Amino acid sequence: MKNLSLENLSKTYFDPYAGTTVNAVQDVSLNVAAGEFVAVVGPSGCGKTTILNMIAGFVPISGGRVLVGGKEVKGPGPDRGVVFQSFALFPWKTVAENVTFGPKMRGVGKAERAKIAEEYLALAGLSHAADRYPNELSGGMQQRVGVVRALANNPDVLLMDEPFASVDAQTRMTLQEELTRIWEERRPTVIFITHDVAEAVFLANRVVVLSKGNVLEEVDIDLPRPRSWDRLVEDGDFKGLSNKVLQLVRSA
Amino acid sequence: MTYAQSLWGMYVRWAAAWPALSAFAPFVPLIALWGFVVWLELFPRVFLPGPFEVLQTSWSLLYKGILPAYLGDSMVRLAVGAAAGMALAIPLGIFIGLNQRAHDATWPVLLFFQAIGDIAWLPILLVWFGFGLTTMTFVIVYTVMFPVILNTVLGIRSARPELERAAQSLGASRTRILFEVTLPGALPNIITGLRNGLGYGWRALIAAEIIVGTSGIGFLMFDARRAGSVDEIVVGMIVLGILWYIVDSWILAPIERATGERWGLVTT
Ligand SMILES: Nc1ncnc2c1ncn2[C@@H]1O[C@H](COP(=O)(O)OP(=O)(O)OP(=O)(O)O)[C@@H](O)[C@H]1O
Ligand SMILES: [Mg+2]
């Protein structure tokens, strides 16, 4: 795991039909320490996805730099694992093949890949589904695969854009608890984008509130770990922090 | 009622044992109707032969070896033409699908030539290549190619961008993405192109055989017309239908079940 830093990151979109430009992200600087879990919240259209896509290398950067472990990155790469809101699993590959896709691209042999599949499917509680195809799984199970597929490739940074937004509330809470457990176990560096303030506070060490393409404020979340909804749902500190972040988002 | 039920039960058990039976069953009323119309003698027998005469003629054609030989000729022509057509069309479709400039440059031309349907080429091909195998092969290859190219292009261009992004973020190179992501995603479209191509190709072949006329099912039918034996024409028509059913249910449908349907890319 490595640290991630954004230096004066900016993005200007150009609309060729209207002939106008949109400053989606303006001069955002952020440091994420190795092994830190940072959540990014903010109202719709404030540039969260744009920031994540620039870090992932999916869209060109208009200004500034992205550094992973001190090295500037250009374009997508296996050092930055991505978990998508739409899961983006390969429909023609089994669950095990999806999970070991990254290692396969690195040239890891079959026997070794089988071991990796076993390890990570166990981590996600999906050992029984190894040979199924994604369309045979529920949304929650599909996103578990999405998370361990990214992890199994040993990225330096894990990028997640509203990964739990399209599953039901019940499943979402389970997935959040599983993600904290996995994070506590493995300590990846994570940037987690979400609309859901409670989700951000529950998962993160630090919550970054964005407003119109700028960082409005950063809130440290020093809640004890391991975290679980059973404990936090009635917890005063949790409620206080959630309220604070919520007020910031509403003022953004 | 119980008698009918037990009869029905028997049919269900038989159909389970021989799937061909359940494919044949829908034709029973059709054949009965045919037999009935013939029995009414609305038309002279030489114009409209009955099911039994047609069966007899099929048997004698089979027995004399004409039907197997002609069928073999037609099938080989289709198989060779289709294989050549696919071998040209799939790589071309992939190239055009991946390359925006190639797409801009070729798409109007492709649509233009697709519109000049298979048999519309026959007159000029007969002038160029004469009544022979070259003409027939050209028509089949041509007919198979266009649906396959167009559908392959469509499949490649309708790839989900986030799957490509996922693959990139997992370290896949351009080439690996093509083979692991883009092509499997386009496969259902490619198969649809193949299905259309084979269907059109089969029809084009029959037309070509009628006109070029040396052997094959199309020739059999047209030759029978000259000899005035309507029952042989009907045999030819029935063979065409059966053959397409076999190609579809033994080759195309199983491929579709094992790919797109299995992956949930096409809903059935
Ligand atoms: N491809 C694009 N072309 C032009 N403008 C864009 C493009 N993508 C995003 N934008 C604009 O950039 C701004 C930020 O968009 P972005 O998708 O990053 O917001 P977001 O914070 O992720 O929103 P949401 O919470 O709704 O997902 C918006 O004003 C949006 O309209
Ligand atoms: Mg977004």
**Ligand 1 centroid vs A61 CA: distance in angstroms?**
14
| Domain annotation for chain A: domains and CATH numbers | 4-79+160-251 (3.40.50.300), 90-154 (no CATH)
Range of the domain at B146: 83-262
> By the 8 A CB rule, do B188 and B259 touch?
yes
- Separation of CA A194 and ligand 2 centre (Å): 8
Q: Does B171 touch chain A (CB under 8 A)?
A: yes
Burial bucket for residue B203 (CB in 10 Å: 0-12, 13-18, 19+): middle
Task: Say how far apart CA A23 and CA A9 lie, in whole Å.
Answer: 11
Q: Is the pLDDT of residue B119 over 80?
A: no
Walking along chain A (252 residues) 10 residues at a time, the average pLDDT comes out as: 94 90 93 96 94 96 95 95 96 97 96 96 93 94 96 95 92 94 93 96 97 94 93 93 95 85
B27-49: b or e for each residue (b if 16 or more CB lie within 10 Å)? eeeeeeebeeebeeeeeeeeebb
Query: Which of A93, A126, A143 shows the shortest CA–CA distance to B262?
Result: A93
Residue B78 counted as domain residue: no
The pLDDT assigned to B231 comes to: 86
A164 beta partners: none
Q: Give the integer Cα–Cα distance in Å for A248 and A225.
A: 25
Q: What is the pLDDT of residues B215-266, one digit of tens each?
A: 888 888 898 888 888 888 888 999 888 888 888 888 888 888 888 888 988 7
pLDDT digits (tens, 9 = 90+) for B37-55: 888 888 887 788 888 888 8
Q: What is the pLDDT of residue B180?
A: 96
The residues whose Cβ lies within 5 A of ligand 2, an ion, are A 49
Instruction: Give B268's pLDDT tier (boundaries 50, 70, 90).
Output: low
Instruction: Tell me the C-alpha distance between B132 and B154, whole Å.
Output: 34
Which ipTM did the prediction report?
0.93
Give the number of the atom of ligand 1 that is nearest the alpha carbon of residue A50.
Answer: 18
* pLDDT over 90 at B118, yes or no: no
B34 within domain boundaries: no
Ligand 1 within 6 A of A191 CB? no
Is A80's CB within 8 Å of B169's CB? yes
Asked, for residue B124, whether it belongs to a domain, the answer is yes
CATH code for position B206: 1.10.3720.10
Q: How many domains does chain B have?
A: 1
